[in-house]
Structure 1
Amino acid sequence: MRVFGKPVIDITAQIELLKQRGLQIQDEARARYFLQAVSFFRLTPYMRTFQHADDQDHPFRKGSEFRELTTLYEFDRRLRLLAMDAIERVEVAVRSLISNHMGPTHGGHWYMEVRLFQHTYDHARLMETIRTKQNTAKRDYEKECQRIDRLQTDTRRKDHLKRQRAKESYARHYPVTYDQPSLMPGWAMLEELTLGDLSHLYKGLARDADKKAIAKYLALPAPLLQSWLHTLTTIRNICAHHARLWNRELGIRPELPKKTSFQWPQALLQQGQHPRIFSVLCILKHLMHQVSPHTHWDRRLLELMQEFPSLNQRAMGFPQEWHQDPFWQITE
């Protein structure tokens, strides 16, 4: 262990440091604006691809330019937005699929029945999560009612405002309107969960028949859907925190199809490790075509890749001519 002793340096000094390390900066004014908007620290992971490895002085390879660094950063930003667009739609669809199966099969408040979950699933935590959300929403509503009561207006207007406020969220509306059962129905409960919560809930379902029925709508076996939801939770968190995505090695690696009968890129059917983001993009492509058959998401991915032709696609796990694989079937 060492004592931290790195000095704080301003943007002028940051630019000088980059130049000392061999980075070519054609437009220092533009570089200054960029570093004001995007911190030096945030750019550091993107610098590594242009630097000599294993050199503590972090020198840049000869000919490296600041605009290459900003171009890579811009690509990664847009890749995150594209991934988040797909993850959002997949997440909404999975909520709907779970609700549309579990509700009609097991009743409106199915999630309150512990028998429907594996013994390893933290059912009490789920109950507490929903109870807390309802209680918080109800307290917020009561505070708003107190504020409304202080308004200089007639009782009829106050009652109208209170009714409107009560409808602003179901977590607020339910405890204000109903007292039995104590918690909201399943279709509303699912909207209160994070993607991580949703992933754990699906994994925790006790009946294989339920898991299979839900996964079938996405043309998947249940183990694949369970694994993919786990991985997508990690990817969503990376994107939500604006972290580097483009050449990241996956910490949570998804299970991949092994059967040749499953429509899947040939490169990913081969044995070996597939730890890069390409496998996740293939997952999103498959899921997007299940939840939105007429989507052009895959076309947008291709256009993004073509817009940055100098990008190192191998660092992302892309095979050569990836878009010509029958899996993608990208058409105009």
Structure 2
Amino acid sequence: MYNKSPLTIQQQIAQLKSRGLRIEDEDKAEHVLQSISYYRLAGYWWPMQADKALHTFKSGSTFEDVIAIYNFDRELRLMVFGVIERIEIGFRTKLIYYLSHEKSPWWFEDSTNFKDQLQHGKVVQTIDRELSQSKDIFIIEHYKNYILDTRRPPAWKTLEITSLGTISKLYGNLLPGIKAKNTIAAELGTVNHTYLPSWLLSITQIRNLCAHHSRLWNRNLPGRPKLMPSPPNKWINQVPPVSEYHMLYVHLCCMKYLLNIVQPGNQFGQRLKNLLDKYPTIDPNALGMTPHWESEPLWE
């Protein structure tokens, strides 16, 4: 049974020092621990521990190194979140446009457009919840102006307030015979609907980590994007092995590939390189970066 008592900030510092973490400025460490919890930081010092059971640190480990990794991860997370925003808006726009023209403005309600109708029903429940919670004026005004219309607002209204996870599920569940499914994939450079759903799933998972301020650095990511054997646009020559798809780099490559289409001339590659240069103690291997990644055609 768990019976440990909470530690004061001073006790936390003493415990870290007793385990071998060098802390030069205890006042600064105290200030940091008052703003960033012990267990949030633990994810960053975990690889520094020589003995994971006893929690003892490797020789030369410093509190300053922990904070450098934390700050790097924070800046990386903000950068990635901004990239995902551009991809999400681009994808959302295409989904609404093509499906509304091919099917109807209420295509997302029609279960006959989807492979798995049970999953579709769950997604519609999520949409209803998101609609009921929406404070957007265009949703409120729609219900006020069309009070006798029992349908949900059309796709260009409803799907503007739903989450990336929701619209990704709608897209992935579309029947393969729907032309828009391949049109959207082709316009995003992913050839056909075979590959894009797995990319969207992994991007959604990373977006949620960013939104909840969770760590990206040195993390085992849940998504595994399905990569194209011969992408039509600039890609990487040195593709990481499948065993490394849990690391961030391959996901960053997928994001960069999509971003190059929705925002040509973007500076994502240069910004990522600048961030790594800013924190020279960061090990790129913890992100799964390949040697000379910045010289790859995708990132140039």
Q: Same fold (TM over 0.5)?
A: yes
Give the TM-score of the pair, scaled to structure 2: 0.92
Paired letter, 2:17: K
> Equivalents in 2 of 1:311, 1:134: separation in Å?
43
C-alpha change, 1:175 and 1:327, in structure 2 (3 Å) is same
Which digits, 9 at most, give the CA deviation of each residue in 1:197-233, with x for residues without a partner? 1111001111342211111111113222110111111
- Of 176, 190, 194, the residue aligned with 1:220 is 190
- Of 90, 112, 117, the residue aligned with 1:93 is 90
Residue 161 of structure 2 is matched in structure 1 by 192
Is the helix fraction higher in 1 or 2?
1
Confirm or deny: 8 A CA contact 2:96 2:156 kept in the other structure.
Answer: yes
C-alpha change, 1:272 and 1:127, in structure 2 (3 Å) is closer
Residue 151 of structure 1 is matched in structure 2 by none
SS in 2 for 1:281: helix
> Equivalents in 2 of 1:131, 1:326: separation in Å?
43
Confirm or deny: 8 A CA contact 2:126 2:166 kept in the other structure.
Answer: no
| Structure 1: segments with no counterpart, 5+ residues | 141-167
Give the TM-score of the pair, scaled to structure 1: 0.84
Which digits, 9 at most, give the CA deviation of each residue in 1:56-102, with x for residues without a partner? 22111111111001000000111110110011111111110101101
Deviation at 1:268, TM superposition (A): 1.2
Confirm or deny: 8 A CA contact 2:44 2:69 kept in the other structure.
Answer: yes
Paired letter, 2:106: H
Deviation at 1:274, TM superposition (A): 2.9
> Equivalents in 1 of 2:230, 2:174: separation in Å?
25
> Equivalents in 2 of 1:135, 1:64: separation in Å?
50
Deviation at 1:45, TM superposition (A): 1.0
- Counting aligned pairs with the same residue, the percent is 32
Which is higher, the Rg of structure 1 or of structure 2?
1
Confirm or deny: 8 A CA contact 1:278 1:317 kept in the other structure.
Answer: yes
Aligned runs of 1:52-201 on 2, under 5 Å?
Answer: 52-54=50-52, 56-120=53-117, 122-135=119-132, 168-178=136-146, 179-201=148-170
| Structure 2: segments with no counterpart, 5+ residues | none
SS in 1 for 2:159: helix
C-alpha change, 1:194 and 1:40, in structure 2 (3 Å) is same
Deviation at 1:325, TM superposition (A): 1.5
> Equivalents in 1 of 2:294, 2:202: separation in Å?
23
Does 2:209 match 1:241?
Answer: no
Confirm or deny: 8 A CA contact 2:269 2:294 kept in the other structure.
Answer: no
Confirm or deny: 8 A CA contact 2:131 2:158 kept in the other structure.
Answer: no
